[in-house]
Structure 1
Amino acid sequence: MKISTSQLLNELKNKTQQHLQYAEMLLRKTEDELNFRISADSWSVLECLEHLNRYGEFYIPEISRKISSSVTSSQLTFKPGILGNYFAKTMLPKEKINKMKTLKAMNPIHSQLNKSVIDEFIRQQKQMLELLEKAGHIDLEKTKTGISISKWISLKLGDTFRFVIYHNERHIMQAGKVLKNI
């Protein structure tokens, strides 16, 4: 599968803009609504966003460093890597979200959270939009990033963007399902 680089970046910018708008809407909810959980072992809306913030704390600086140090120039098309494509596709939300285990450090369950979590998520989404804009000037295949679960594996920057943004989408959908149960 090959995709136009500009088409990929535009799709990812649009998704990120939607995530940003969703988070801004959440600011109008009460903290009780945002901390509501469907069951004792499920995440609240704030826990969904806190989980994403924790991943953002790793990926945003990593992506930023790699973009800043890249000496490549943009290419017309992007071809996902085998591993990166697999990771990205597993994050895509499905009709019935398939549960996945999360690393203990990334699991915010039963954290004491307030709306500052949303403010941080909004800040990170704005940073992601800036990074997507900058990424239009470099090669998304040759520029590689580390991943949060192993220092031995690196992914093409285009796959890293896809993974992070699809992961955001997955948990935004999860948060939406929680809100429907209030």
Structure 2
Amino acid sequence: MKVQTEVLVTDLLNRTNQLIREAEELKTKPEEALNYKEHAESWSVLECLEHLNLYGRFYLPEIKKRITASSSASEPVFKSGWLGNYFANSMLPKEKLNKMKTFKNMNPLNSKLDKKVIDEFIIQQREMLQLLEASRKVSLNKTRTAISISKLIKLKLGDTFRFVIYHNQRHMVQALRLRSVTLLQNQ
């Protein structure tokens, strides 16, 4: 994938702002509905967002550290790496979400959660907006970040942003579907 850097950053800012709006809307729902599960092994709305918070606790500091340490200036075009592009595209929300196995340390199944999960998610998304703005001054191609499954594998910063934000969108779609099911159950 090859794209104008400014087009990519603007797209990711728009996606993140949409996530914040959706999370704010979820905050208006009763906690009971946000903890509703279709069955014992499925996630609730709050578990979906806690899963994203767990990833955010790794990626946000990692991205910030790499932007701060970067000495590479921004380029007009971002060219995705093959692995980063694969990871990012695999996270994009689709009509029928394919199930993926979650790493145990990132699985919030059966956690006792409240609306503070949504507050943390919104805080993390606002931090993401700041990092995206800061990324305009560095190379999205040459600045590289570690990934949560291995510190040995490094992705281009542009791919890391795409992966994390698409992953956030994927699980927000899941959470919003659950919210719809919950509303139907309560009618």
TM-score by length of 1: 0.99
Counterpart residue type for residue 4 of structure 2: S
- The Cα RMSD (Å) is 0.5
* Structure 1 equivalent of residue 155 of structure 2: 155
**Cα deviation 1:99-157 (Å, max 9, x = unaligned):** 00000010001000000000000000000000000001110000000000011100000
Partner in structure 1 of residue 185 of structure 2: none
C-alpha deviations, 1:17-49, integer Å up to 9, x for none?
Answer: 000111111111111010001122110000000
Q: Hey, what's the Cα distance between the residues in 2 that align with 1:136 and 1:146?
A: 20
**Aligned partners of 1:151, 1:145: CA distance in 2, in Å?**
9
Structure 2 unmatched runs, 5+? 183-187
Give the superposition deviation at 1:78: 0.2
Give secondary structure in 2 for the equivalent of 1:181. helix
Distance 1:4 1:134 in 2: 17
Q: 4+ runs of 1 displaced by more than 6 Å?
A: none
Pairwise CA distance, 1:165: 0.1
The separation in 2 between residues aligned to 1:28 and 1:2, in whole angstroms, is 39
For residue 114 of structure 2, what is the aligned residue in structure 1?
114
Residue type at the aligned position of 1:59: Y
Q: Distance in 2 between matches of 1:20 and 1:97?
A: 21
How big is the shift at 1:83? 0.4
1:82 corresponding residue in structure 2: 82
Matches within 5 A, 1:28-177: 28-177=28-177
Q: Deviations over 1:146-174 (max 9, x none)?
A: 00001110000000000000000000000
CA distance in 2, matches of 1:97, 1:176: 13
Q: How far apart are 1:93 and its partner, in Å?
A: 1.0
Unaligned runs of 5+ in 1: none
Measured in 1, the distance between the counterparts of 2:142 and 2:30 equals 45
**How many residues are matched?**
182
Per the alignment, in what secondary structure is the counterpart of residue 136 of structure 1? helix
Q: Deviations over 1:36-93 (max 9, x none)?
A: 0112211000000000000000000000000001011110000000100000010011
- One-letter amino acid of the structure 1 residue matched with residue 134 of structure 2: K
Deviation at 1:12, TM superposition (A): 0.3
